[in-house]
Structure 1
Amino acid sequence: MFKWEQAFATRASRMKASEIRELLKLLERPDIISFAGGIPDPALFPREAFSAAYTDVLGGEGAAAGLQYSVSEGYRPLRDWLAGEMGKLGVPCKAENVFIVSGSQQGLDYLGKLFLSPKDTALVTWPTYLGALQAFNAYEPTYDRLNLAGNRTPDAYRATAAEAGGRVKFAYLSADFCNPTGETVDRAGREKLLDLAEELDIPVIEDAAYQSLRYDGEAIPPILALEIARKGDIEAARTLYCGSFSKTLAPGLRVGYIVAASPVIRKLVLMKQAADLHSSTINQMAIAHVAERGFDAQVAKVRAAYSHRRNVMLAALGKYMPDGVHWTKPEGGMFIWVTLPAGMDGAALLARSIETEKVAFVPGQAFHADGSGANTLRLSFSCADDATIEEGISRLSRLLKTERLAA
């Protein structure tokens, strides 16, 4: 029998199954209360709007274009609309600064491919989005902790990267209601990151997948907006803004985008041509149709639903959780991050939870590039109703009390 392992490239050894993808299989079990998958509620999808959009595209003159090959940059009307929306966020730009990808996950993969050579260092937060680590892992980097609260110097980052055999190549973070913690980087932290990036002379990858999902608190300008305010033009900016329609309109269409200076866009277009030519044309056309006619109303509907569920989960955590357990109080997004007492293990707890209490969540260790964070876990409230949240948190609390007594 042929030994496939000997034929694989060295990068294949860093490709591992996603714990979250595996946990999503639990959603098919009716006996499991799942707070695991950070997925949008399908009941909130604008199905009628998309039905009308596809009918319009396929029934009119756009049918030929929607079913045909297209340009790698993306559907021009969608890019024009996105440029207008970015302007509202303080990012004046043109369609030439907007690049469409097949979901923002593909965008992260492209950026990893564009910037990382083996042994180069990516600066990421502890914890960080697991999908980003998986995207970057294929390009064989090392990771260093991006700590905006501390006083670590640029020289310290450089020295650590040199010891690993490469250079610091970029800083990656999700600044708004991030996956997995739900936390937001304040304006001072964003400005500090820009200062660090200038000192290190590196790009900043701003993952804005949840930027539209603010429920309360004052909106903070995107990092890219703050940099443009400093430099006057997107062409002078080192920040790359990664956005998505997955959390607002529909994840199944796989339409995301990158907004950046034109030299970066030109390189990404070449990568797209080599990889899959272009993202689905008809899906881009449908997204443009729906977004132009009702994006703000759809976002308002989603915000109202998720804000309520967040409030219900926070209230349940306050009502049931034992002393020594702490959690974040996000102003938006889909997640609450729970920190257990030292010595507890989220992965072991999940196994017992599935067996005894029938409640699923995501252990936090997978979100840490250094393998720390065993005593943490992520809860998602996006797909659970009030009664389910109340019952699930009650069961999880009961398990934690039992585990602490056993210890």
Structure 2
Amino acid sequence: MLNWDHVFATRSSRMRASEIRELLKLLDKPDIISFAGGIPDPALFPEREFAEAYAGLFADGKAGGALQYSVSEGYLPLRSWLKDEMGRLGIACELDNIFITSGSQQALDYLGKLFLSPGDTALVTWPTYLGALQAFNAYEPAYDQLSIGNRTPESYRAEAEAEGRAVKFAYLSTDFANPTGQTVSLEERHQILALADELDIPVIEDAAYQHLRYDGEAIPPILALDIARSGGIDACRTIYCGSFSKTLAPGLRVGYVVAAKPVIRKLVLMKQAADLHSSTINQMVVAEVAAKHFPAQIAKIRTAYVARRDAMLAALQKYMPEGTEWTRPEGGMFVWVTLPEGMDGAELLARSVETEKVAFVPGQAFFADRSGANTIRLSYSCANEAMIEEGIRRLGRLVGHALARAA
């Protein structure tokens, strides 16, 4: 029998199962109240609009093109819609600055492949999006904590050079981040650009939740700030990653990258080598639905999610024992809870699923150094207000019991 471990590439040792994907299996159990999956509510998908768009392709005789190979850059009308949408966000760009991917997760994988050689340093926040760590891990980087405004550029450079490494990029989620729900302030965005200038590295801006703001003032994307100071997108170092997964539907796997043309050209070459192009028919229907229904769809999901966020924040205030802290996001899908010191989120999850029938994600998975054991992520996107009230009540009771036992 072949010894597979002997022939696997060294990078395979960095590949691990997603703790979140495993937890999604709990969603199928009717007795579990799940705050685990950071996924959109399927009841909010624009099903009728997609059904009409798919049917229209076949009724109008466009099925041949929809079922055919296509260009690697992406479907032109979809890129044209994105060009206009980016303009509304302050990101002036051309069609050649836009590249369609199979979800923004593919974009992160391509960017890891593009920039990281084994041993290079990637700057990421502590905590950060687990999917980014999984995408980057395959290219064998080292990680350093991106601590915005609290470290000098020289400290990052010196730490990398002491290990014979080079800092290659800074990655962060800017609005209502997964997992914390927090938003990077305008001042911090400028600080990120200043840091990137000093280190001469790109900034990867993960904007998956850009459109899910419920209150507070919108903040310009880092790429918009970069364009304003640089004079144009092709002089920028920021790479913007977006997605239709959180706004229209994740199953279609349509995401996009907006960046300087030299970056886009490299990504197109990767696409040609990997899967040629993203699904033609899915891009066509996303373009159709986005052009006709995007503002109404955004309004619908904002209305639903803001009520659930408010219910979760109120329940946490009502039921969580003293010593527990949590974020208060202005949008997105997540609340980040810091448990009293000494508690372990993974151990709490095991007890919670067994005794209280409540699921969540232990926070340790989101830390590159596996710290943060006393943190958990709660998602409110797929639970109604009554479920949220009951689930947080049970969870608060469990945390209170754990504290009593430790006293």
CA distance in 2, matches of 1:295, 1:167: 42
Q: Is the 8 A contact 1:120 1:167 kept in 2?
A: yes
Counterpart of 2:64, as a letter, is A
Q: Is the 8 A contact 2:181 2:331 kept in 1?
A: yes
Residue 94 of structure 1 and its aligned partner are, at CA, apart by 1.0
Counterpart of 2:14, as a letter, is R
- Say yes or no: does 1:115 pair with 2:142: no
Gapped runs of 5+ residues in structure 2? none
Matches within 5 A, 1:5-404: 5-150=5-150, 152-404=151-403
Please state whether the residue corresponding to 2:128 is helix, strand or coil. coil
Q: Deviations over 1:331-386 (max 9, x none)?
A: 00000000001110000000010111010000000100011100000000000011
Q: Is the 8 A contact 1:180 1:378 kept in 2?
A: yes
Residue 97 of structure 1 and its aligned partner are, at CA, apart by 0.4
CA distance in 1, matches of 2:61, 2:189: 45
Please state whether the residue corresponding to 1:309 is helix, strand or coil. helix
Q: Which ranges of 4 or more aligned residues in structure 1 deviate by more than 6 Å?
A: none
CA distance in 1, matches of 2:237, 2:107: 16
Please state whether the residue corresponding to 1:205 is helix, strand or coil. strand
Please state whether the residue corresponding to 2:336 is helix, strand or coil. strand
Residue 61 of structure 1 and its aligned partner are, at CA, apart by 3.2
CA distance in 2, matches of 1:322, 1:170: 40
Q: Deviations over 1:101-153 (max 9, x none)?
A: 00000000000000000000000000000000000000000000001141x11
Q: Deviations over 1:202-235 (max 9, x none)?
A: 0000000000000000000000000111011000
Counterpart of 2:93, as a letter, is C
Residue 60 of structure 1 and its aligned partner are, at CA, apart by 1.6
CA distance in 1, matches of 2:124, 2:40: 25
CA distance in 1, matches of 2:176, 2:386: 24
- Per the normalisation by structure 2, the TM-score is 0.99
Q: Is the 8 A contact 1:142 1:164 kept in 2?
A: no
Residue 59 of structure 1 and its aligned partner are, at CA, apart by 1.9
CA distance in 1, matches of 2:21, 2:215: 30
Q: Is the 8 A contact 1:129 1:367 kept in 2?
A: yes
Identity of aligned residues (%): 72
CA distance in 1, matches of 2:375, 2:77: 43
CA distance in 2, matches of 1:208, 1:223: 10
Aligned length: 406
CA distance in 2, matches of 1:58, 1:5: 48
Counterpart of 2:405, as a letter, is A
Q: Is the 8 A contact 1:104 1:242 kept in 2?
A: yes
Please state whether the residue corresponding to 2:39 is helix, strand or coil. coil
Q: Is the 8 A contact 1:120 1:164 kept in 2?
A: no
CA distance in 2, matches of 1:267, 1:394: 50
CA distance in 1, matches of 2:18, 2:178: 14
Please state whether the residue corresponding to 2:131 is helix, strand or coil. helix
Residue 154 of structure 1 and its aligned partner are, at CA, apart by 1.1
Q: Is the 8 A contact 2:149 2:191 kept in 1?
A: no
- Per the normalisation by structure 1, the TM-score is 0.99
CA distance in 2, matches of 1:282, 1:254: 11
Residue 100 of structure 1 and its aligned partner are, at CA, apart by 0.2
Q: Is the 8 A contact 1:128 1:368 kept in 2?
A: yes
Please state whether the residue corresponding to 1:378 is helix, strand or coil. strand
Residue 297 of structure 1 and its aligned partner are, at CA, apart by 0.6
Counterpart of 1:294, as a letter, is H
Say what the alpha-carbon RMSD is for the aligned residues: 0.6
Gapped runs of 5+ residues in structure 1? none
Counterpart of 2:158, as a letter, is A
Q: Is the 8 A contact 1:78 1:284 kept in 2?
A: yes
